[in-house]
Amino acid sequence: MSMTDPIADLLTRIRNAHLAKHDRLDVPVSKIKVEICRILKEQGYIRNYRQYETKPQGTLRILLRYTDDGLPAIRHVSRVSKPGRRVYRGSADIKTVRNGLGLRIVSTSRGLMTDMQARQAQVGGEVLCELW
């Protein structure tokens, strides 16, 4: 199975795991997935993540977060920039998501950061995804 968009695959697996009420999920590891998980953990959307050395590629285990009512912490997740249509924004053009209640992950020249961090650092980049 050839994978053209590993980020969309990660987001879909997170969405599906939440729908199935799983506590955790394992995905093949990559640097960008680890960075996305770092941001999701910093922002409180997942409990934790850990890398395991497995053959051939390594595994990224993501511990999902739910509210006390059993609702997923991530209620909506969507891929913005796709392989067929990349979406780039300057720092001034990166808008807030749901009046600051959501988050966009932006790939900048200084690495992955949230929409707010990108505006503060005044750097633009590729808008990977948004979630709330």
In tens, the pLDDT along 103-125 reads 999 999 999 999 999 999 999 99
What is the total count of domains within the chain? 2
CATH code for the domain in which residue 14 is found: 3.30.1370.30
Q: Are residues 81 and 113 in the same domain?
A: yes
What are the angstrom distances between the C-alpha of 8 and each of 5, 54, 73, 81, 94?
6, 22, 18, 10, 20
Checking if the pLDDT of 1 tops 60, the result is no
Q: Are residues 100 and 123 in the same domain?
A: yes
Checking if the pLDDT of 83 tops 60, the result is yes
The encoded tokens of residue 53 equal 């050395």
> What SS3 string covers 72-131?
ECCCCEEECCECCECCEECHHHCCCCHHHCCEEEEEECCEEEEHHHHHHHCCCEEEEEEE
Which residue range(s) make up the domain with 81? Answer: 77-131
Report residue 3's pLDDT band, with 50, 70 and 90 as the boundaries.
low
Of 11, 131, 103, 111, the C-alpha closest to 3 is 11
The percent helix, strand, coil of the chain (3-state, each to 5) is: 30, 35, 35
What's the average model confidence in pLDDT over 88-105? 87
pTM exceeds 0.85, yes or no: yes
Cα of 4 vs its chain's centroid, Å: 17
Q: Are residues 57 and 105 in the same domain?
A: no
In a domain, 69, yes or no: no
